[in-house]
Amino acid sequence: MIQAIGLTSTARKESPPTVDDVSFEAGTGRVTALLGARGAGKTTVVRLMLELQQGRGVTYFRGRPLHRITHPAREVGVLLGDVPGHPARTVRGQLRMLCSAAGVPVQRADEVLEVVGLVSLRDLRLGALSRGMDRRLGLACALLADPHTLVLDGPADGLSIREGTWLHGILRAHATVGGTVLFTTDDAKEAARTADRVVTLDDGRVVADQDVTAFARTRLRPRVAVRSPHAARLGVLLAKEARTAKRSVEVVTEDGSRLSVYGSSCADVGETAFRHNILVHQLADETGDAGPLVALSPLADANADAVAAADRAVEADLTADGPTEHPLPTSSGQEAGAGAATGADTHARGLAHTPRADTPQVHTPPDTLPLTPTTEPPSDASGATSTFVPLVGTTSRAASARTTTTGGHMEGAAATPRTPAAALPSLPPPITVRPARSPLRPLRYELRRATGIATGYVTAALVVAVSALIAVLLARAGHTPQPLLLAAWPQALPLPPAAVGAGLLGAFAFGDEFRHPALAADRGTVPHRLGLLAAKLAVGAATAVLMAVLVVGCDAALLHLVYGQELTQVPADWLSLTASWVALVVACAWAGVLASGVFRSTAAGLAAVVAVPIVIVPLVQKALEGPSVRTAAGLPGRLRELAPLHWPFGAERFVAAGVRMIAQPVGGALMLSLTALLCVYLLTVLRPKVR
């Protein structure tokens, strides 16, 4: 069950909030539609429910707000807009990656692909999906962790009738097995066909909360669908006869051969066509579009007399023995034949009569304040449902009304006096946008993210090819030391190609996440969590080491092939050189990961790597200028003296090599950059907790 209470968006400057005090329920085992025109606030309500947008209010999913649920993806499946993901990733790869994020077996990806009918397209890339296939994939992502609740924002937008029918069947099946479904739509007919309950929004407020039967009866207009080769002529004749008979009939031309006639019947339309010898191919009763919504402000002065007359007529019925229902006036511009608005669409004038159990009375609270639906109304002995409904307005929150509902209709409302200011209810709690959690299996998630697209493979191949070419050219020119020759590091360049490539691959780790979000798409931005950071650093380091080994191996093989064995001899201090080489590429990869995570951009991550030798190294060199009184000569011997036992495998040499590397300008600059980026990253992680 979903319980949304007092959802109110944050107002900007002097403009009113987009959503104001929205409250409703979506029951378990039922499909609930959030209906409203474009701009009515449906998406804002969904974002407030999912704590993606700041505001006020609270939403309970089976009694718990979303931030109190340990694994939100296993409780609430969400579909907001298009499926976020790298366009080069395959459908199956996207789902398998999300399986690691949700902590479910990888076989679940194939199961949901069968459910949504995408098994044959599992190797298709996301960028090649059509609108209908994208909707199916989005539904598969929402169903991946087998959640109890589905929250879908406009799931059928842009779909064909056939695809929309299939989607609604999936939603109905999920509700049938005990799940809760809430979806938004701007099509009243779609809501009437699919939902069990319809919550209508207008201008950011709830104007109706009805069972689908009552919604279809009170909010949808019946019409006659006509198809004829002489539709234009028939429409003119129907309008002419309606004016002559002083009846309210609206004729709408759907296309060249189809008419929609409101306020008439199949018999009347058929008789008109028969009298004028007009061929008719189709003549059927249908449920048309929704009529005008209930006004949230007082009725216009032009309708005041009609409203007062209707109120007097209803009051007379209440005192009579055999009352009958009178059609109540509709809002301005509604046709007389379009169906009278009853239940929540009528306006009472403060009548305090007690309703009879055997006679339905049609009244609602005053129209100057919108209704806020309550939850789980108790039933009385007469079979009606008595509900104490608070009236919440923009200027006063102290009014309340006693209403009685039967079959989805508001009945017998009596306005109660305003409560004193001391009894005003407290404001709903603020909604805080909280970052998403890390994947439950972060290392597996990161491996699938990195290997699911060809970007990493192409980058590594380019680095190896460029390094081999540079090594051959350096060997031809001469005057390059052998260690730099094997690393393809010209003295004129601040960094070798392998280090730049490692930094670029590290920058992709977070840069692509922000550009093409995949992790916790329903939770907004990519989370800053230490578990995910550790996984990205580990995968980045492993990738950098592998690429460094490939570069040295390919350079040595090519140099041996072109120039012989002279340039490929193993140096005497190969251990320390190897440690320095590995440390350089790993540091560049980590700098790219941290910078892209802090600045949320791949370009920023790569810029941070390149800026180390160009900007930070000169600063370090300038700081170290001047005569040196002492040096680190003899450091390996002193390190050996610190340990009571001998260092195994000559580890003191590796430590000394690392210290010497840090003492170098490039090494010192890299260590300084990594320390600064790590501190900033940790600050972004801990900042929400400090608040």
Indicate if 224 and 206 belong to the same structural domain: no
CA distance linking residue 222 with residue 287, whole number of Å: 5
- Mean pLDDT, the chain, whole residue set: 76
Tell me the pLDDT tens digit for each residue of 612-628.
877 776 776 666 565 55
Smallest Cα–Cα separation from 93: which of 104, 81, 85, 82? 85
**What's residue 625's pLDDT?**
65
Q: Which of 174-178, 450-454, 597-601 has the lowest mean pLDDT?
A: 597-601
Question: What percent of the chain lies above the pLDDT cut of 70?
Answer: 70
Boundary-marking domain end, from 180, 211, 242: 211
Q: State residue 427's pLDDT score.
A: 78
CA 635 to CA 665: how far, in whole Å?
19
User: Helix crossing, 231-244 with 266-275: angle to 10°?
Assistant: 110
pLDDT score recorded for residue 108:
95
Q: Please say whether the beta carbons of 449 and 516 come within 8 A.
A: no
Domain that holds residue 83: 2-211
pLDDT at 628: 55
pLDDT recorded at residue 14: 75
Flag whether pLDDT at 432 surpasses 60: yes
Closest CA to 153 of 115, 201, 92, 119: 201
pLDDT of 587 higher than 50: yes
- Condensed to tens digits (0 to 9), the pLDDT of residues 215-269 reads 887 778 788 899 999 999 999 999 999 999 888 888 888 877 899 888 888 999 9
Tokens of 459: 């980058």
What digits encode the pLDDT tens for the residues 88-143?
999 999 999 999 988 999 999 999 999 999 999 999 999 999 999 999 999 999 99
Residue 441: Cβ within 10 Å count:
19
Please answer whether residues 510 and 601 qualify as being in contact, where contact means their C-beta atoms are separated by less than 8 angstroms. Answer: no
Q: Calculate mean pLDDT across residues 543-567.
A: 91
Alpha helices in 195-347 (DSSP H): 212-218, 231-244, 266-275, 304-319
Higher pLDDT, 171 or 318: 171
Total domains present in the chain = 3
pLDDT of residue 285: 85
Domain final residue pick, 211, 242, 257? 211
Higher model confidence: residue 559 or residue 404? Answer: 559
What letter would DSSP give residue 355?
P
Which of helix, strand or coil describes residue 151? strand
First-last CA distance in the chain: 31
pLDDT of residue 222: 82
- Check residue 350 and give its pLDDT: 31
* 308, part of any domain: no
Q: Is 63 left (phi over 0), alpha (psi -120 to 50) or beta?
A: left
Look at residue 356 and tell me whether its pLDDT is greater than 80.
Answer: no
Distance CA 541, CA 36 (A): 51
Residues 156 and 253 in one domain: no
Q: Would the pLDDT of 579 be above 50?
A: yes
pLDDT band at 321; cut points 50, 70, 90: very low
Closest to 443 measured CA to CA, from 101, 88, 45: 101
Q: How far apart are CA 94 and CA 127, in angstroms?
A: 12
Any domain includes 129: yes
Q: How confident is the model at residue 445 (pLDDT cuts 50, 70, 90)?
A: very high
The rounded distance, in Å, linking the Cα atoms of 76 and 25 is 15
Residues 228, 175 share a domain: no
Say if 576 falls within a structural domain.
yes
- Single-letter residue type at 92: R
- Domain-embedded: residue 63: yes
Q: Are 51 and 433 in contact (CB under 8 A)?
A: yes
At 106 the three-state DSSP class reads coil
Beta-strand ranges (E) seen in 350-468 are: 385-391, 399-406, 409-415, 430-431
Same domain, 459 and 588: yes
SS3 of 201, please?
strand
Asked if residue 151 and residue 281 are part of one domain, the reply reads: no
Count the Cβ atoms, other than its own, within 10 Å of residue 131. Answer: 13
DSSP summary character for residue 74: G
Domain check: are 529 and 599 in the same one? yes
Residue 278 has pLDDT above 70, yes or no: yes
**Which residue is it, tokens 């689908």?**
212
**pLDDT, average across residues 414-440:** 64
Domain shared by 192 and 118, yes or no: yes
Beta-carbon contacts of residue 273 (< 8 Å; ≥ 6 apart) = 228, 234, 279, 280, 283
Question: Does 512 share its domain with 534?
Answer: yes
Return the CATH number at 14: 3.40.50.300
Q: What mean pLDDT do residues 624-641 have?
A: 57
CATH code where residue 250 lies: 3.30.70.100
Token reading at 3: 């319980």
Domain membership flag for residue 391: no
Which of 189-193, 479-483, 684-688 is most confident? 189-193
Structure-token pair, residue 133 = 């296939």
Give yes or no for a contact between 269 and 342, defined as CB atoms under 8 angstroms apart: no
Q: Is residue 240 part of a domain?
A: yes
Calculate Rg over the CA atoms of the chain. 35
Residue 95 in contact with residue 141, Cβ under 8 Å? yes
What does the pLDDT read at residue 16? Answer: 86
Of the candidates 207, 581, 561, the residue with the CA atom closest to the CA atom of residue 410: 207
pTM, full prediction: 0.69
The DSSP line for 544-575 is HHHHHHHHHHHHHHHHHHHH-GGGGPPPTTHH
pLDDT of residue 497 exceeding 80, the answer is yes
Question: Does one domain contain both 231 and 139?
Answer: no
Instruction: Report the amino acid identity of residue 354.
Output: T
Strand order in the sheet with 180-185: 76-80, 149-153, 180-185, 31-35, 197-202, 205-211
Summarize pLDDT for 656-674 with one digit per residue, the tens.
Answer: 555 555 556 566 677 778 8
Contact criterion met (CB below 8 Å) for 408 and 214: yes
Confidence at residue 385, expressed as pLDDT on a 0 to 100 scale: 36
What does residue 579 show for φ and ψ, rounded to 5 degrees? -60, -40
Give the 3-state secondary structure percentages of the chain, helix then strand then coil, rounded to 5.
50, 15, 35
- Give the list of residues 6+ apart from residue 532 with CB closer than 8 angstroms, or none: 438, 439, 442, 445, 446, 519
Same domain flag for 22 and 45:
yes
* 326 in a structural domain: no
Q: Are strands 31-35 and 180-185 parallel, antiparallel or unpaired?
A: parallel
Amino acid in the structure at residue 463 = V
Residues 59 and 128 in one domain: yes
Report which secondary-structure segment, H or E, holds 32.
Answer: strand 31-35
Indicate whether 178 and 237 sit together in one domain: no
Distance from chain centroid for Cα 509: 21
Domain end residue (candidates: 290, 321, 352): 290
Residue 250 lies in a domain: yes
Q: Where are the beta strands (DSSP E) in 38-148?
A: 55-61, 76-80
pLDDT, tens only, 200-212: 999 999 999 999 9
345 closest CA partner among 301, 265, 290, 264 = 290
